[in-house]
Amino acid sequence: MLTATHLTRAFESRVAVDDVTFEVRAGEVFGLLGPNGAGKTTTLRMLGGLIPASTGEVQIRGVQMNRQTAESLRRRIGFLTETPGLWDHLSVEENLSIYGRLFGISNVEGAVADSLRRFDLWSRRNDRAALLSKGMKQKLALARALQHDPEIVLLDEPTANLDPETARGVRDMLFDLRRRGRAVVVSTHNLDEIERLADRIALVSTKLIAIGEPALLRRQIFGRRFRIRLLGTPATMELVSVAERAGARDVRIEEDGFSMLVDVPETAPAIVRALVEHGAEVREAFDDQPPLEEVYLKLLSATA
């Protein structure tokens, strides 16, 4: 649905984004990760048609974003920027109404009322935006970005300043957007959150470093590690040999059991069975998945 091809953006002598290519599918939440200054916000702004690429192109359903098409294509995009720029001297309701008219919503009053209730802003509808807390402003900005029901949603730190309950509501909203076939791009520093949300992630540091499903990237970096915890039975070199003969590699003795590489998932039950047959008391066995943060840092360190 949304395609970035060889996107590059330079600001005078500084290259902010360098030859980045990826595609975001309909019904997908796509995470855009990277350190400060990595070009994430610049990439989002190019995807949303707010700034042009120095070279490369953006396409929406095969239509290239350019001066002639930008206005019509932007109507298909909902964009939450890092600094959303609300009209502080207007009320919450007026902020939504004006935005709705700009996007040509046929029933502006109905759309505004729905947004106010959906984002729990109804009781604050007559308050000036300047009087809202940071979290309430973020909710208003989200409501504004989504009220024209866009097919492409670009979100820059969508849960920033939100309390846990509201942040969970935003995550539920993103799952609903995915279910309805929208293409969603989320830029964030919250790695735990993006791992729960994203179908695929892209790591950028000016250039595209890696792209793929979080679990796939984890296996590419660390392999498929399997943990077995024992109850009472000590972890011994004899049991290490048993696990290796059953198909494990790089078996490591740990405080309460073993960690090992298992190339074929179907091998894991055979390893457990072999250990039990040799007297091991297995308390639990599970895939040992390092947090996404470790994958992120490992990939970044490889480019340093």
**CB neighbourhood size of 245 (10 A):** 11
Q: Which domain holds residue 267?
A: 223-291
Q: Which residues contact 208 (CB under 8 A, 6 or more apart)?
A: 19, 20, 21, 22, 202
User: Could you read off the pLDDT tens digit of each residue along the chain, which spans 304 residues?
Assistant: 899 999 999 998 899 999 999 999 999 999 998 888 889 999 999 999 999 999 999 999 999 998 899 888 988 999 998 887 899 999 999 999 998 898 888 899 999 999 999 888 999 999 999 999 888 898 899 999 998 889 999 999 888 778 888 888 888 888 999 999 999 999 988 787 888 889 999 999 899 988 988 878 877 777 778 999 999 888 899 999 999 999 999 999 998 999 999 988 888 999 999 999 999 999 999 988 777 888 888 887 776 6
In a domain, 168, yes or no: yes
DSSP H or E run through 80: strand 77-80
Question: What CATH number corresponds to the domain at position 281?
Answer: 3.30.70.980
Are both 166 and 241 inside the same structural domain? no
> Is 299 within the bounds of a domain?
no
User: Do 179 and 75 belong together in one domain?
Assistant: yes
Whether 231 and 207 share a structural domain: no
54 inside domain: yes
Domain boundary among 218, 238, 273: 218
Within the chain, residue ranges assigned H as helices are 40-47, 70-74, 92-102, 108-118, 134-146, 164-179, 191-197, 214-222, 237-245, 267-277, 292-303
| Residue 256 domain flag | yes
Residue 92 in contact with residue 140, Cβ under 8 Å?
yes
Specify the pLDDT at position 26: 94
Same domain, yes or no, for 166 and 239?
no
CA distance 287 to 265: 9
- 111 lies in the same domain as 243: no
Name the domain boundary from 165, 195, 218. 218
Q: Are residues 19 and 163 in the same domain?
A: yes
Asked if residue 231 and residue 195 are part of one domain, the reply reads: no
175 and 103 together in one domain: yes
Q: Pairing mode, if any, of strands 28-33 and 183-187?
A: parallel
* Whole-number pLDDT of residue 304: 60
Q: Are 237 and 199 in a shared domain?
A: no
Among the three residues 188, 218, 248, which one is the final residue of a domain in this structure? 218
Alpha-carbon distance of 270 to 11, in angstroms, equals: 57
Kindly list the strands in the beta sheet with 2-11, ordered across the sheet, starting from the edge strand earlier in the chain.
14-24, 2-11, 55-60, 63-64
DSSP character at residue 216: H
Q: Are residues 210 and 249 in the same domain?
A: no
* 129 and 206 assigned to the same domain: yes
Domains identified in the chain, total number: 2
The answer to whether position 303 is within a domain reads no
